[in-house]
A and B are shown apart, each in its own frame.
Chain A
Amino acid sequence: MRNWILPENISDVLPREARQIEAMRRSMLDLFGRYGYELVMPPLVEYVESLFLHDDPALNLKTFKLVDELTGRQMGLRADITPQVARIDAHILNRQGVARLCYAGSVVNTRPDGILSTREPRQIGAELYGCADVAADVEVIELMFESLALAGLADVHLDIGHIGLFHALADAAGLGGEARNSVFIALQQKDVPTLKAACAGLPTEIAAGLAALPTLYGHGEVLARARASLPALPEVLHALDTLAQLEAALAVRGIKVRFDLAEVKSSDYHTGLVFAAYADGFANAVARGGRYDRVGEKFGRSRPATGFSLDLREMSRLPFPDTAPAILAPRGDDPALIAAIRALRAAGETVVVDLGVDAGEAGCDRRLVAGVSGWQVVPAHAV
């Protein structure tokens, strides 16, 4: 048996990638800290009921399950950390005002998102609870942009949608169950022919509105077109106002927005504004987020919520140096040598003691050598 083979879509993280992931994780958590987000570390396993915010069929399917031998209850390995953080906000912290929380950790999925995706993403993200104002979304999006810049992605394209539009139209038409789901899927795929067929029996104004959603795609003028082509339901107008406010607030911060009003692809728990960041060279969104306001209802306390997350393993496809700078030092018990090595390490340098490796293999770009005035650092290839 080839017992060193790992399961499909599961892999080791080797030194170069591990260094990159860890560097990004640290710098992003530091960044979140500077915005006032507190780090939390939810458990890897918990009872399945608390791993989902609502009836989340897609998330449920992605969750590995096992039986807790202490209680006989079913436990799940987390497939998404956001619901866990929402549980912490709702029940453990029980703060009245705004709570800002962030996290980083592995999640596991029963099935990969795509044939090339890992089943063990390293999710990192930030969540903001207790503020229903668009200012909270602006903060989260700004934080997402800064995080992507830290990973080396400067040219990021932001797409914004609002799931409230679909729900307002579907509610007005009395769409439920299977029919609602098929319209939802058609919208997700901008599948206009199927969408039109699915809307055939609905009131004309609503059917026209649903069919218009996939065409409402592009820059600022989209909102004007949306006001003209969508029925003037209060929820629709409210969603469009929110989008306009968000665009204005982000413009001040130098972030350009593109609207995609058929963008409903998100986690099951999202309820309003949704956003996704795209970048050249990535076939899928590099970071996603949005509003999930009714969250916490299940945990006994409904709170407004918004946040974003990304997968650090995806980010590790970005360029990163193969080796870190290091100094190769000879082995020996000379007190001056020991002192020199200690001083260099204290100054933040990586010092590798030569135990029979060559400088190239150890990734060392410099050496510590005995010179006329004591130990000194010289380039690796100097004699």
Chain B
Amino acid sequence: MITIALSKGRIFEETLPLLAAAGVVPTEDPEASRKLIIGTNHDDVRLIIVRATDVPTYVQYGAADLGVAGRDVLIEHGGAGLYQPLDLEIAKCQLMVAVRNGFDYAGAVQQGARLRIATKYTEQAREHFAGKGVHVDLIKLYGSMELAPLVGLADAIVDLVSTGGTLKANDLVAVEHIRDISSRLIVNQAALKLKGARIQPMIDAFAGAIAQ
């Protein structure tokens, strides 16, 4: 049995064509059904639907053999014990620093002030500001980061930006680009070794589909 961990929404939708290239078609739509385990046209391949941040954990401990996870999630997780052989080039976005419109970010950084940063991505925020030599107080939030600068909880946020619509709607501006994000195929190390005969052709099919 090959188990593939995916998260609902954009990653699931954009992974479907890749799965199709490997000849795997889900028998149900996770948005319509509430099932967490979804069968496919192959008896020995199934999909499990988990939260995006949980995908690396499921794969690391062998509860899933393969998974699709954003690079943002992988960096936060640390990636220990995982293989990440392919950049699937899906679910693309950018990790950015954003502030309230009118906030003097460059000035605040130059003055050596301690910035308060609200983010879900504490590892990457810590690393980014340490690289700049800026001291920060990190405030870990789980959603609606855009609110933090507006209500005075933080000076800036570190968050994923895809179209910039949410920033604009909340009168925020992106001031720094940290990295481009896309989703990676991740593979459990033991699974690649023990079930390689079944998994390697899938990886190759995904790679072929991306190249096109």
Contact = CB atoms under 8 A, between A and B. Distances in A.
Contacts of A258: 193
B190 A114 contact: no
Interface size of A as a range: 20 to 34
A214 B84 CA distance: 10
Contact of A282 (B57, B80, B190): B190
Interface stretch (A22-30, A189-197, A225-233): A189-197
A189 B190 contact: no
Interface of B: prevailing SS: mixed
A191 to B, nearest CB: 5
A256 interface: no
Contact of B193 (A115, A116, A157, A214): A157
Interface string A177-202: 00000000000011111000000000
A283 B193 contact: no
Interface in A200-245: 214, 218
A339 to B, nearest CB: 55
B84 A190 contact: yes
A283 B82 contact: no
A282 B79 CA distance: 18
Nearest to A218: B196
A258 B87 CA distance: 25
B83 A190 contact: yes
Helix, strand, loop or mixed for chain A's interface?
A: loop
A284 B85 contact: no
A278 B61 contact: no
Contacts of A285: 190
A115 B62 CA distance: 13
Contact of A192 (B80, B81, B86, B193): B86
Contacts of B188: 283
Given A190-B84, A193-B87, A280 B79 contact: no
A159 interface: yes
Nearest to A258: B193
B7 interface: no
Interface of A: 114-116, 157, 159, 189-193, 214, 218, 258, 260, 278-280, 282-285
Interface of B: 57, 60-62, 79-87, 184, 187-190, 193-194, 196
Given A191-B79, A278-B194, 16 more contacts: A114-B61, A189-B83, A191-B84, A191-B184, A192-B85, A193-B84, A258-B193, A260-B193, A282-B62, A282-B190, A283-B60, A283-B188, A284-B81, A284-B189, A284-B190, A285-B190
